[in-house]
Amino acid sequence: MKYLTFLFILSFFSACNQKQEAVEGQWIKGNEQEKLETIENQFRGFDMAKVETGYRYQELYWAGQDENWEYADYQLEKIQKAIENGLERRPKRAQSAQHFLTVTLPQMKEALKKKGYSCF
């Protein structure tokens, strides 16, 4: 039993000692910090959240026109997620988005619960 415990501990420490190989992508080059900055630039700031929100608003409108309430609710969830993700990337925009997230979005959700065409 002592021998097995010794082998287990030895294999554990030898596994911890292995050096990981650096991974290089096709277009993400540089050291770890440079790679991280490149990835952050690809995610961009709040502008991509605005683009997605605009698209989802259109989908929300047409879902309401078609009285497809499940799809409309789905679009509201995605609008909220897009804005929250955008705020994670650009926290300085949080103050301007709070009214939408805390007042407008809940009102829209309440309107959807009524499933009324007149809400759209």
- Whole-number Å distance between alpha carbons of 94 and 102: 11
- Whole-number Å distance between alpha carbons of 120 and 118: 5
Q: Domain spans of the chain? A: 45-114
User: What radius of gyration, in Å, describes the C-alpha atoms of the chain?
Assistant: 24
- Whole-number Å distance between alpha carbons of 95 and 9: 53
Model pLDDT, residue 52: 96
Model pLDDT, residue 101: 96
Model pLDDT, residue 61: 94
- pLDDT tens across the length of the chain (120 residues): 666 665 566 666 666 666 666 667 788 888 989 988 888 888 888 999 999 999 999 999 999 999 999 999 999 999 999 999 999 999 999 999 999 999 999 999 999 999 876 766
Are the CB atoms for 56 and 75 separated by under 8 Å? yes
Model pLDDT, residue 12: 63
Smallest Cα–Cα separation from 53: which of 76, 87, 70, 74? 76
